[in-house]
Chain A
């Protein structure tokens, strides 16, 4: 993929790799941590932890329901448990277990869903988690994270392990552009402003953050200065950052590699409508499953591009002027 090429973003590692390496590296300082796998540790990268700490790595086979509840049992007995699978299988197959074994008792389980979004490409829609953020946000008390690049995935993995209680983190398969410095210091619930601007705000998560930066560059050439926010924490969402963005720029576009129903856009809209109404545009999957194909072409076909963000931004800026 060539996301961010035009603005000179360097391609970095995949967020799943960064997560897996961070988890392994944190294993020594977190002796209480256990990892439960459902036969996809080489995909989610929890295998790296398993190789380093085989006595704290449990392989329960292709059985996501059992995997999540076993992780909950560890947590209820005083351990911190990380369990990971493809976002689609983890959050859809084991939703009830996440709700009842983890969410309701507020068990100290960290759920990591990899291969999220449509950028996994050729494997097709059965493998693409496009509703995970919505599902996980609908569990009361769940913290929901969606890192944009490798550095932020490393940082958020560490932050996640500092918390006590249920957390969901989304990771992706492809290499993604670097948008944060190597030593970035993100805080859960505090959005990262990556670019300042006063005409419109682009709020994105995951892969779409790099696209938003690219869109901001295009808009700047047109004389529209866009603020770009990495909303790496969807829940609890950064209300202050959204309010300020709405008050100071007067127009907002959200961008996510996820269904529009219940995703980042709807969460931001809820805050905007209540705190400081502004015209909004949305980039995301619109009421459809995707299909097999090369990631670049899929992102194009389903409108997850910098170009679409630019179009939405032009639209909301025009509506803003119209209102004035």
Chain B
């Protein structure tokens, strides 16, 4: 499998990929005139690590390989960075810059029927972890030693279905299931801590029977370490709670008062500055 070569990438190489994915997400949403670049940036280390950091076992030339690890983007509005990753990995040769165009398979939210490597159609928040659980149970039944990773937003944890899935995963001891929470602290109407407090979050997951790992989601060694540890079976499902910044690396978004950058692309001139900022960091 290709994971061997990706697994051998050093952090410098991974960071170079991450920047390409981040820039692709910014360019694509700016070109489309809509979309969610800020949530792509908060998840950029996580997504890069999954696809290129030797975490997920998959074969870009065979996206339907039955024994692959699967990735479910439960926070479907982060689609641009998944498209960028699939393109970078060579799973798809679709142009990420056709994001949201009529006729392009790269829709605003992932469509599993149209894009290789997209395992589930998401966009209605709260469903991805349940879908990932079904996939993990299926893999167990099939005797496959594969994992399923589901990336959730922290605002998404307001959805009760997430906790239904958490209970069921623990009941079935699905230690091949990994939930990753992109804890960027913001959701549509503002500060996630004010809209619906989630803390204490790790104890919550632990009380539901999960192993919780809490990290800085922009620290390469911690991200790689946590995700690789999560891939190891522990008898319990694992949640990686990654503390991140919505709009990581882009001052225009990070310093915007009132989190106006949910679902808003950067203007072309802002995008160019942001890209220079990411490239020069």
Give me the interface of A with B, judged by CB distance under 8 Å.
34, 36, 55-56, 58, 60-61, 63, 65-66, 68-79, 81, 96-97, 99-101, 104-106
Contacts and interface: CB of A to CB of B under 8 A. Distances in A.
A79 B119 CA distance: 14
Contacts of A36: 134
Contacts of B171: 60-61
Contacts, number: 107
A60 B174 CA distance: 13
Interface of B: 66, 70, 111-113, 119-124, 126-127, 130-139, 141-142, 160-161, 164-165, 167-168, 171-172
Given A36-B134, A69-B134, A106-B113, 15 more contacts: A34-B141, A56-B141, A60-B171, A63-B167, A65-B130, A71-B134, A73-B134, A77-B134, A97-B127, A99-B124, A101-B127, A104-B113, A105-B112, A105-B120, A105-B121
A74 B119 CA distance: 12
Given A58-B172, A101-B120, A105-B112, A70 B131 contact: yes
Contact of B130 (A34, A56, A70, A79): A70
Nearest to B168: A60
Nearest to A106: B113
Contacts of B113: 104-106
Given A34-B141, A56-B141, A106-B113, A69 B131 contact: yes
B120 A76 contact: yes
Contacts of A97: 127, 130, 161
A70 B129 CA distance: 9
A105 B127 CA distance: 13
Contact of B133 (A56, A61, A65, A73): A73
Contact of B161 (A34, A66, A73): A66
The interface residues of chain A, by DSSP majority, are classed as: helix
A66 B141 contact: no
Contacts of A34: 138, 141
A72 to B, nearest CB: 5
The SS class assigned to the B binding surface is helix
A65 B160 CA distance: 9
Given A65-B130, A66-B161, A70-B134, A79 B120 contact: no
B121 A74 contact: no
A100 B128 CA distance: 10
A99 B124 CA distance: 10
B112 A66 contact: no
A61 B120 CA distance: 23
A175 B123 CA distance: 42
In order of increasing CB-CB distance, the 5 nearest A-B pairs are A73-B134, A69-B130, A66-B164, A77-B138, A63-B164
A178 to B, nearest CB: 37
Contacts of B112: 76, 105
A100 B138 contact: no
Contacts of B127: 65, 69, 96-97, 100-101
Given A60-B164, A65-B161, A65-B164, A74 B134 contact: yes
Contact of A73 (B123, B135, B172): B135
Contacts of A58: 137, 172
Contacts of B111: 104-105
A93 B106 CA distance: 30
Contacts of A105: 111-113, 120-121
Given A61-B167, A100-B124, A105-B120, A73 B141 contact: no
Nearest to B165: A66
Nearest to A71: B134
B278 to A, nearest CB: 33
A56 to B, nearest CB: 7
B66 A78 contact: yes
Contacts of A55: 141
Contacts of B121: 100-101, 104-105
Contact of B131 (A61, A73, A96, A106): A73
Interface-centre pick from B124, B130, B133 (highest chain A CB count, 10 A): B130
Given A65-B130, A69-B131, A79 B138 contact: yes
Nearest to B119: A76
